[in-house]
């Protein structure tokens, strides 16, 4: 071989190797390599979209309040996401119609995908799981609701050292190889969800993940000592989510995407360490946080009295900064979960009456204060009204009707608070 040709050949090989290494630096296959599962519910017709910013869309569509279809598609057991696993009925059109008729505008449909995801490197998501999520989203759309779907208990970490799901920030921040492995799976799962729903209109929104933390709910010793390690991982996961969705075509380059901070904690969402991902389009991002404060009343059910001037002022003080940081910059904010548990004291009528009245005071006040600052509250309903667990249920999942007179009252108070 001529010396010049030989040198040219060597250079060409070197350039090709650099290109391959660069394109696979994260070991994330390109979208074109995906196994594309056709949407068997809606079909392949591209729905028209508004082209509006998320802020204008929420305003023009009058999205003021929402409701969570909790403990249904997000339920799981032994690493397998289900639907009726935690005792709720199979999802039907009646519950969607009932939620819309009650006055809610948007529904958050939490989804646990684990147990329906194949092995690396493709991490193929089962077609039947995608289809069921599509069926449920379509029911909500048919009722006239806007819809949010997410990755939910795939990131469940009930306590330090215990990961129920695969999306483990504890493993990721401690080990670069684990981070690479988990990020790959996260990217592949979102690619496949996005491809499946690529033709759906802008009534369907994607939320990256739910309450990601190391088991300490943003209060662990490790997080307090070295917060930036975990926060860096979370910010990069949010960027991965956005990048992979945007590349999948259809309406996804312009889809509204919901971005959580660490643990969806309000204070973490306001912290300077929480960085919104870089987007190739402007005005399409939505910020989310969860609110059950004070925890001993809102979610733990250990406190029966709420409603002092100081209690009310705290909600105001907690919500006001979101207006200055996000709303005034035309970035919508949803309170992706909020509410207060039903407390029952069958042997203590006075205590139960106090807890009941406090709940009537608290929930509408949270909704009204959210409205005051331009936030959209989404009530957490897990379908439960009895037993020893958290009791957030307001609707009968079979009929779509409120499950009690008190629930009817609370629903009416919530809706009136944001109108």
Buried b (16+ CB within 10 A) or exposed e, 78-99: eeebbbebbebeebeebbbbbb
Catalytic residue among 94, 191, 211, 390: 211
- Residue 316 — φ and ψ, nearest 5°? -60, -45
The span from the CA of 269 to the CA of 290, in Å, is: 10
As a dihedral over the C-alpha atoms of residue 163, residue 164, residue 165, residue 170, rounded to 10 degrees, the angle is: -10
Query: What one-character DSSP code corresponds to residue 402?
Result: B
Question: How many other C-beta atoms lie within 10 A of the C-beta of residue 129?
Answer: 21
Rounded Cα distance between 147 and 200, Å, is 11
Distance CA 201, CA 218 (A): 35
Phi and psi, residue 159, nearest 5°: -160, 165
Return d(Cα 176, Cα 160) in angstroms, integer.
19
**211 assigned to active site:** yes
Distance CA(95)–CA(385), nearest Å, equals: 16
Q: Is 296 a catalytic residue?
A: no
- DSSP string of 255-273? --EEEE-GGG-HHHHHSTT
Q: Which of 94, 191, 207, 337 is catalytic?
A: 337
- Cβ atoms of 66 and 379 within 8 Å: the answer is yes
**Active centre residues (catalytic):** 211, 337
């Amino acid at each position: 071989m001529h010396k010049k040709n030989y040198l040219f050949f060597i250079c060409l090989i070197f350039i090709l190797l650099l290109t391959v290494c660069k394109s696979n630096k994260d070991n994330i296959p390109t979208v074109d390599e995906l196994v594309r599962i056709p949407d068997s519910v809606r079909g392949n017709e591209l729905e028209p979209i508004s082209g509006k910013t998320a802020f204008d869309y929420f305003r023009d569509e009058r999205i003021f309040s929402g409701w969570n279809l909790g403990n249904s598609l997000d339920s799981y057991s032994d690493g397998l996401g289900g639907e009726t696993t935690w005792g709720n009925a199979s999802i039907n059109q009646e519950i969607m119609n009932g939620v819309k008729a009650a006055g809610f505008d948007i529904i958050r449909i939490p989804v646990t995908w684990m147990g329906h995801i194949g092995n690396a490197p493709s991490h193929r998501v089962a077609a039947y799981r995608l289809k069921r999520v599509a069926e449920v989203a379509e029911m909500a759309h048919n009722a006239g609701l806007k819809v949010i779907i997410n990755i939910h208990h795939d990131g469940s970490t009930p306590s330090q050292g215990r990961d129920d799901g695969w999306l483990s920030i504890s493993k990721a921040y401690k080990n670069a190889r684990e981070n690479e492995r988990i990020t790959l799976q996260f990217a592949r799962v979102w690619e496949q969800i996005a491809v499946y729903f690529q033709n759906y209109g802008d009534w369907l929104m994607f939320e990256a993940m739910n309450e990601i933390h190391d088991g300490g709910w943003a209060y662990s010793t490790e997080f307090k000592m070295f917060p930036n390690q975990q926060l860096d991982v979370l910010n990069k996961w949010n960027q991965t989510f956005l990048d992979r969705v945007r590349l999948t075509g259809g309406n996804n380059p312009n889809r509204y995407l919901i971005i959580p901070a660490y643990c969806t904690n309000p204070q973490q969402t306001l912290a300077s360490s929480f960085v919104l991902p870089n987007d190739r389009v402007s005005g399409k991002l939505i910020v989310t946080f969860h609110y059950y404060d004070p925890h001993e009343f809102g979610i733990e059910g250990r406190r029966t009295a709420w409603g002092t001037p100081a209690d009310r002022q705290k909600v105001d003080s907690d919500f006001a900064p979101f207006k200055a940081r996000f709303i005034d910059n035309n970035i919508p904010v949803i309170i992706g979960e909020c509410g207060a548990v039903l407390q029952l004291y069958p042997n203590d009528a006075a205590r139960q009456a106090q807890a009941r009245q406090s709940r009537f005071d608290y929930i509408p006040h949270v909704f009204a204060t959210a409205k005051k600052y331009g936030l959209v509250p989404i009530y957490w309903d897990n379908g439960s009204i009895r037993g020893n667990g958290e009791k957030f249920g307001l609707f009968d999942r079979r009929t779509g009707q409120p499950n009690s007179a008190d629930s009817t009252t609370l629903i009416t108070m919530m809706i009136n608070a944001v109108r």
